[in-house]
Amino acid sequence: MTGLLGNSILEICYIAASITFILGLKMLSSPDKARKGNLYAAYGMGLAIVATILFKEEFSSEKTLNYVLIFAGLLVGTLIGTRMALKVKMTAMPQMVSFFNGMGGACAAVISLVEFDHLMHTGEFDLGLIIVIVLGLIIGSVSFSGSIIAYGKLEGKIGDKALPAGQILNIVLLLGILGLGAYVTVMDVPNEMFIYIILGLSLLYGILFVMPIGGADMPVVISLLNSFTGMAAAFGGFLYDNQAMLTGGILVGSAGTILTVLMCQAMNRSLTNVIIGSFGGGGAAAGGDKEQGTVKEVTATDAAILLAYASKVSVVPGYGLAVAQAQHTVHSLEKALEEKGIDFTYAIHPVAGRMPGHMNVLLAEADVPYPKLLEMEDANDQMANTDVVLVIGANDVVNPAAENDPSSPIYGMPIIDVLSAKNIIVMKRSMGKGYAGIENELFFHDKNRMLFGDAKDSLESLISEVKNL
């Protein structure tokens, strides 16, 4: 169907899809509605794709449309995406997000290249289109290469590597990319060679600015790259006059940017430093090998007694909880203690885990009531009245070095103030360091007791002991 009627139906479908994107994003703010919101947005995207194929005028000619290739691509993409989503473990969710985000950036870059090639063949050079193409190419390429490096770092396949004078190199490289992009836009006839140079330099910049970033700072990087992909998709919407693509890109870009700013505030970092690649840093902190003191252990029985006779208990979840797949077990401990009249809450650090919201999603999967998930500020306000704080797999987000060790790479990062609680129990497999690669002073503090072992097994032992008291 083509002509005026087909265009009208297409516009209505795009508006409907945009509405589902907005509703879906709104629902994602609440764990009990997040799943439904995600489905709404997915249905909206499906509607936009089908409507484009059926009603877009440019697709009315057999020369410009190959249904076999289109539906083959849809089928292959659907099968791969579905299989990855069903198989992924909660611990690997950040990696999958980074990978999918990188694919979105790659698509945006490819769109820019295709559209530039189209302009070169038609000779219809429009300043606005050239600007959008160049920006989409730069941002999409940076998002792609940066996301793939982030994926490798999260997967443990790529380490933190910083080049000498890396900050200066990144600044020069970024200025060179922007300068060359500006030059291309003012040329009477854009040079195709410059476009591919911009592509190469943008891919290199994405690698160089993510490579030196330490693990503790990775949640901010994921959020930033996500906003890049959203902006690149929005540029694609401009190129194709596609309202659904434009709306979706703007929503992702703006939401990702807001989240990035919030993450930077939570980490007490500068967004400028994220962009130029001087952000954080891995490896051991200066002074990280100093003598810390003696570690005090606790048995499951003694820990259970401490919990059972407390008035208020708070859990600080971390990546170790996800690794042990113990979210359902800690919820069972919560119910066992609440049956004894104990106030039970969760203290959620904004960057706990490997990406923003990792712990919220993990605990929502176990049907933990959302009101029990306290944000860092609210949790810290209540910490002084907490009898026992149970740290499960968290490390950097409770490390006092962030407050008292200027040589630490996490110095200045706000943390969950567990030292204000009356008693602390840290559950870990071993004395291993956190993702930032530094020693945790909390483990050696007089208030703290270590309960070693797999988090799920230790929690099951605690539940059994609590019920027997």
For residue 446, indicate whether it is catalytic: no
Task: Please classify residue 422 by burial: count the beta carbons closer than 10 Å to its beta carbon, then call 0-12 exposed, 13-18 middle and 19+ buried.
Answer: middle
Which of 217, 63, 215, 205 shows the shortest CA–CA distance to 143? 205
Record the tokens describing residue 392, joined without a space. 């499960």
Which of 444, 440, 420, 423 shows the shortest CA–CA distance to 432? 440
Task: Please classify residue 131 by burial: count the beta carbons closer than 10 Å to its beta carbon, then call 0-12 exposed, 13-18 middle and 19+ buried.
Answer: middle
The pLDDT assigned to 75 comes to: 92
The pLDDT assigned to 273 comes to: 62
Record the tokens describing residue 308, joined without a space. 């059972």
Q: Which residues are paired to 373 by β-bridges?
A: 346
User: What is the distance between the terminal CA atoms of the chain, rounded to a whole angstrom?
Assistant: 73
The pLDDT assigned to 418 comes to: 93
The pLDDT assigned to 240 comes to: 83
Residue type, 88: V
Residue type, 448: N
pTM of the model: 0.76
Which of 362, 355, 373 shows the shortest CA–CA distance to 328? 362
The pLDDT assigned to 269 comes to: 67
The pLDDT assigned to 287 comes to: 43
The helix/strand/coil state of 438 is coil
DSSP state of 354: S
The pLDDT assigned to 286 comes to: 43
Edge-to-edge strand list for the sheet holding 448-452: 373-375, 343-348, 312-317, 388-392, 423-428, 448-452
Q: Which of 32, 160, 217, 396 is catalytic?
A: 396
Q: Which residue has the tokens 């009249």?
A: 341
The pLDDT assigned to 435 comes to: 56
The pLDDT assigned to 281 comes to: 46
DSSP output for 230-257: HHHHHHHHHHHT-HHHHHHHHHHHHHHH
pLDDT in tens for each of the 469 residues of the chain? 556 777 788 889 999 999 999 999 888 877 678 788 989 999 999 999 888 888 876 554 555 567 788 888 889 999 998 898 888 877 777 888 889 999 999 999 999 999 898 888 887 778 888 999 999 999 999 999 999 998 888 777 887 676 777 778 888 999 999 999 999 988 877 788 999 999 999 999 999 888 887 665 677 788 888 899 999 999 988 888 888 889 989 999 998 888 888 777 766 667 776 555 544 444 444 444 455 668 889 999 999 999 999 999 999 998 888 888 889 999 999 999 999 999 999 999 887 877 777 888 888 888 888 889 998 899 999 999 999 999 998 888 898 888 887 877 777 788 899 999 999 999 988 776 655 567 788 898 889 999 998 889 999 999 999 998 7
The pLDDT assigned to 87 comes to: 86
Quote the Cα angle for 251-32-256, to 5°. 20
The helix/strand/coil state of 435 is coil
